[in-house]
Amino acid sequence: MPLNAKTRRKRGKRLVVTLLSGLLPVLLGGVILYMQAERTLQQSTELTAEEAVRQFELILDNTAQAARELLPLAGQPCNDVKLALREQVTRRPFVRSTNLVWDNNIYCSSLFGDYQEKISAGDYSKGQLLLMKGNPVTPDTALLVYRLSEGKQGAMSTLDGYHLSNVLRMIGRKTVLLLQVGPNWLSADGAFHEGVLMASPVAPIELTSSRYAFEVAAGFPKGETWRYMSSEYPPLFSLLIFFGMVSGAIGHVLQKRSSSPSHEMQRALESAEFVPYFQPVVHGDTKTWSGAEVLMRWNHPKEGLVRPDLFIPFAEHSGLIVPMTRSLMRQTAALLAPAASSFDGPFHIGINITASHCKDLDLVEDCREFLSAFAPGAINLVLELTERELIEPTAITHQLFEQLHALGVMIAIDDFGTGHSSLGYLRQFNVDFLKIDQSFVAMIGVDALSRHILDSIIELSAKLDLGIVAEGVETEAQSDYLAAHGVNFLQGYLFGRPMPGAEFINALRHH
């Protein structure tokens, strides 16, 4: 069908829509996968932080136990208790040193024995824990001091930072894991830091121990979400791309469908591309113009003038034929009404109507509107119904034809002789005219059988008192034959081809 005007812009738009319908699922899927990856990483840091807190608490339990056992000894002379202090260091795997305190003063140390150092409880987070960069013995190894006090008595046990950073390293693996005590913190490389802790950019979490005064911070370095996706999701990516391709293909097919003939015709209807052409119908005897048949043309912006048999079947199929005919009738009324003064007696205006237009009573309104454009008696509106597509006699159609006749609208059976309407049918619908199909006219003087049929039709119409119109009259011989046989009206190229409205009105004035 040479009707699809595929302009470059349209094709461009279609390509964009196809690309979008292909990309959209990929992008959406990508976003969902990204969110899923972030969730997975978040869960992973949560688990890691929980595990780290658990491990640190276990280590601190061990360290705190040493301090608890030593606390009752605080106040006794250092010489008497220093062995007990060393025993704790030896017995407990994580304890590096122990100290006894009296009145905020360290007076006895597992390492030095008698020793003097003032301490301030305020340095300790919740009076309990202090993370230090090092001590005079090992200035570069961080250590964690656990302090226990009761009245003036106090005991302290220290934990080597090595154990702590070990835990951070082993549990953390790919996660950035930090131990924070008060304002100080320790990283997995064993380094001691002071000041505000920088939150990790990806899946950050901070978890506070419910039992000791420390916190664990976990997270991932920048770009980890993408790295995770590229290592874990390749099969899902392939699936996404597959879906994208399927969706793009569906988008493409749907658009192709939407630019189907009926959509194209809907567009054409909206931009008034369907226009009426007029072919004169003449009196059989005088050959003066008795009327015209309105024939639809598609004034296509790309294809030029399109013949009705190329698009009417699609219009019927899509139901667009009804609004198209309505538009044609309005245009016809607008064109012919101003020229009505040049009509010599009632002018026949034939409009082709399809069966689908007769399903309800809308046609009555369309005809009423059409007739109201003309002075009463100026025209005869003739609806042409093709014999190939006969109307079912139902309650509605009977009502329709009654109302049409009441309005003065006439009915013609088009292409008569090619279908199989019975006499009963002709009576039932109160038919006024028969239009002899042009195939019979073309056979005049050529084929004896066709001429026989033609003669019978003419005879029949006379018996039924029906007007008769012969279509497709191209030669004088045909015209003479038909006139001699009493055919009332003739239509064909011999008298005039279908022509645009302005040309028709011009010609009408000259007749």
Residue 160's binding partner among ligand C2E, Ca ion, none (Cβ under 5 to 8 angstroms by kind) is none
What lies within 8 Å, CB to CB, of 233 at 6+ separation is 33, 37
- CA distance linking residue 149 with residue 18, whole number of Å: 75
Q: What angle do CA 179, 181, 187 make, to 5 degrees?
A: 30
User: Is 414 a binder of Ca ion (CB under 5 A)?
Assistant: yes
Residue closer to ligand C2E (CB basis): 467 or 498: 498
Task: Give the nearest distance from C-beta 259 to ligand C2E in angstroms.
Answer: 24
Residue closer to Ca ion (CB basis): 63 or 488: 488
Task: Give the nearest distance from C-beta 509 to ligand C2E in angstroms.
Answer: 22
User: Is 387 a binder of Ca ion (CB under 5 A)?
Assistant: no
Q: Angle between the 8-70 and 161-172 helix axes, to the nearest 10 degrees? A: 150
Contact assessment for residue 434 and residue 416, using Cβ atoms and an 8 Å cutoff: yes
> Which residues are at the interface with ligand C2E (CB under 6 A)?
279, 295-296, 307-309, 312, 321, 325, 328, 352, 354, 384, 386, 414-415, 438, 471-474, 491-493, 498
| 426 three-state secondary structure | helix
Structure token pair of residue 489? 């009206």
User: Is 432 a binder of Ca ion (CB under 5 A)?
Assistant: no
Contact assessment for residue 56 and residue 179, using Cβ atoms and an 8 Å cutoff: yes
338 phi/psi in degrees, rounded to 5: -65, -20
Residue span 293-332 as binding mask against Ca ion, x where in contact by CB under 5 A, dash where not: ----------------------------------------
Task: Give the nearest distance from C-beta 30 to Ca ion in angstroms.
Answer: 60
Structure token pair of residue 32? 């969902």
Task: Give the nearest distance from C-beta 278 to ligand C2E in angstroms.
Answer: 10
Burial of 128 (0-12, 13-18, 19+ CB in 10 A): buried
User: Is 415 a binder of Ca ion (CB under 5 A)?
Assistant: yes
Residue closer to Ca ion (CB basis): 67 or 328: 328
Structure token pair of residue 471? 């279509």
Edge to edge, the sheet with strand 153-160 lists 113-118, 105-109, 95-102, 153-160, 143-150, 129-132
Residue 224's binding partner among ligand C2E, Ca ion, none (Cβ under 5 to 8 angstroms by kind) is none
What lies within 8 Å, CB to CB, of 377 at 6+ separation is 346
Residue 354's binding partner among ligand C2E, Ca ion, none (Cβ under 5 to 8 angstroms by kind) is ligand C2E
Residue 187's binding partner among ligand C2E, Ca ion, none (Cβ under 5 to 8 angstroms by kind) is none
Residue closer to ligand C2E (CB basis): 229 or 328: 328
Which range touches Ca ion (CB under 5 A), out of 181-189, 330-338, 362-370, 378-386? 378-386
From candidates 352, 461, 478, 488, binder to Ca ion by CB under 5 A: 352
Residue closer to ligand C2E (CB basis): 291 or 472: 472
Residue closer to ligand C2E (CB basis): 194 or 389: 389
Residue closer to ligand C2E (CB basis): 373 or 442: 442
- CA distance linking residue 97 with residue 112, whole number of Å: 10
Residue closer to ligand C2E (CB basis): 110 or 438: 438
- CA distance linking residue 398 with residue 425, whole number of Å: 12
Task: Kindly list the residues in this chain that would bind Ca ion in the complex (CB under 5 A).
Answer: 352, 384, 414-415, 471
